[in-house]
Structure 1
Amino acid sequence: MGKMERVFSSYHPLVWTLLIGTGFSRIAIFMSLPFMAIYLHEQGLSPFLIGLVIGAGPLCATFGGFIGGYLSDRLGREKIMLGALFVWSGVFMGFSFTSEAWIFLMLNILNGLCSSFFEPTGQALMADLTPQKMRRRMFGYRYFAINVGGALGPILGAVLTSTSASLAFLITGLSFFVYMLALMVMMKRYHTNEREETERVTLTRAINVLRKDVKFRYFILGAILFIIGFSQLHSNLSLYINQESENATWIYPMLISGNAIIVILLQIPLTRWTEKWPVVRNMTLGTSLLALGLFCFGMAGHWAWFVIGLLWFTIGEILVFPTSSVFIDQLAPPALRGTYFGAASFQRIGNFLGPVLGGWLLQYLGGFTMFSIISMCTLVAIVCYRKGAKLHQNVLLAKSA
Structure 2
Amino acid sequence: MPFLSYFHPIVWIILTGTIFTRIASFMTIPFMAIYLQNELGASPLMIGVTLGVAQLSATVGGFIGGYFTDKLGRKFIILATVFIWSAVFIGFATVHVIGLFIVLSAINGLCRSFFEPATQALMIDFTEPKKRRRLFSFRYTAINIAAVIGPLCGVLISGMSSPKVPFFITALMYAIYGVFLIFLFKKYEMSQQKLAENQTIFQVFKVVIMDKKLLYLLAGGILINLGYSQFDSTLPQYINLNIENGVKLYSYLITLNAIVVLALQLPIGIYTEKISIIRSLIWGIIFFAGGLFVFGLAHSSWGFIAGMVIFTIGEIFAFPMMNALIEEIAPATQKATYLGASQFKNLGGFLGPIFGGWLLVHFEAQLYFVVALIVLISIIFYRKALSEKISHTGDRSYHQ
With the shorter chain as reference, the TM-score category is over 0.9
For residue 355 of structure 1, the aligned residue among 350, 353, 356 is 353
Structure 1 residue ranges without an equivalent (≥5): none
Give the distance between the partners of 1:393 and 1:260, measured in 2 at CA.
37
Partner of residue 302, structure 2: 304
- Per the alignment, residue 155 of structure 2 pairs with 158
CA contact (8 A) 2:52 2:350 kept: no
Residues 51-62 of structure 1 correspond to what in structure 2 (within 5 A)? 51-62=48-59
Counterpart amino acid of residue 268 in structure 1: L
Equivalent residue letter for 2:370: I
- Distance, in Å, in 2 between the alignment partners of 1:64 and 1:217 is 17
What is the CA deviation profile of residues 269-292 of structure 1, one whole-angstrom value per residue up to 9, with x for unaligned ones? 110111121110001010010000
User: 1:335 maps to what in 2?
Assistant: 333
Query: Is 1:224 aligned to 2:222, yes or no?
Result: yes
Cα distance in 1 for partners of 2:95, 2:335 equals: 38
Query: Is 1:85 aligned with 2:88?
Result: no
Separation in structure 2 between the aligned mates of residue 221 and residue 37 of structure 1, nearest angstrom: 30
Distance 2:86 2:37 in 1: 23
What amino acid is the match of 1:364?
Answer: H
Please name the residue that 2:34 is paired with.
38
Of 12, 21, 26, which residue of structure 1 is paired with 2:22? 26
Sort the Cα spacing of 1:208 and 1:399 in 2 relative to 1 into closer, same or farther, 3 A. Answer: farther
Q: How does the TM-score come out when normalised to structure 1? A: 0.96
* RMSD, aligned CA: 1.5
Q: 1:116 is matched with which residue: 113, 117, 129?
A: 113
2:203 aligned residue: 205
* 1:140 aligns to 2:137 (yes or no): yes
CA deviation after TM superposition for structure 1 residue 399, in Å: 12
The letter of the residue matching 1:239 is Q
Structure 1 range deviating more: 200-209 or 138-147: 200-209
The alignment covers a number of residue pairs equal to 394
Q: Return the letter of the residue paired with 1:188.
A: K
2:88–2:108 Cα contact (<8 Å) kept: yes
- Asked if structure 1 preserves the Cα contact closer than 8 Å seen for 2:226 and 2:352, the reply is yes
SS at match of 2:320: helix
Q: Is the 8 A contact 2:193 2:332 kept in 1?
A: no
Q: What CA distance in whole angstroms lies between the structure 2 residues aligned with 1:79 and 1:63?
A: 20
The residue that corresponds to 1:257 in the other structure is 255
Percent pairwise identity:
41
- Indicate if the aligned counterparts of 1:93 and 1:173 stay in contact, CA closer than 8 A: yes
Tell me the SS of whatever aligns to 1:151: helix
| Cα 1:398/1:45, change in 2 over 3 Å | closer
Structure 1 counterpart SS, 2:164: helix
Q: 1:300 Cα deviation (Å)?
A: 2.0
1: CA distance between counterparts of 2:18 and 2:56?
22
- 1:79-110: CA deviation from partner (whole Å, max 9, x where unpaired): 01111101001001111112111221111111
Which digits, 9 at most, give the CA deviation of each residue in 1:167-199, with x for residues without a partner? 011101111111111122111110212235x64
Q: Deviations over 1:248-301 (max 9, x none)?
A: 021100001110111011111110111121110001010010000001011121
The answer as to whether partners of 1:215 and 1:391 remain within 8 angstroms in 2 is: yes
Give SS of 1:253's match.
Answer: helix
SS of the equivalent of 1:45 reads coil
TM-score normalised by the chain length of structure 2? 0.96
Q: Judge conservation of contact 1:216–1:388 (CA < 8 Å) in 2.
A: yes
Does residue 63 of structure 1 match 2:60? yes
- 1:17–1:183 contact (8 Å) kept in structure 2: no
Counterpart residue identity of residue 10, structure 2: L
How big is the shift at 1:52? 1.4
Q: Distance in 2 between matches of 1:325 and 1:365?
A: 33
Supply the distance in 1 between the matched residues of 2:389 and 2:10 (Cα, whole angstroms). 30
1:14 paired with 2:13, answer no
Give the whole-Å Cα distance in 2 for the aligned partners of 1:95 and 1:239: 29
Output the amino acid matched with 1:297: F
Q: Are 2:98 and 1:98 aligned?
A: no
Q: Tell me: CA distance 1:154–1:399, structure 2 relative to 1, closer, same or farther (3 Å).
A: closer
CA change 1:282–1:395 in 2 (3 A) is: same
User: Helix, strand or coil: the match of 1:194?
Assistant: coil
**Is residue 291 from structure 1 mapped to residue 283 from structure 2 by the alignment?**
no
Amino acid at match of 1:207: F
What SS class does the counterpart of residue 96 from structure 2 fall into? Answer: coil
Contact kept, 8 Å, 1:74 with 1:202, in 2: the verdict is no
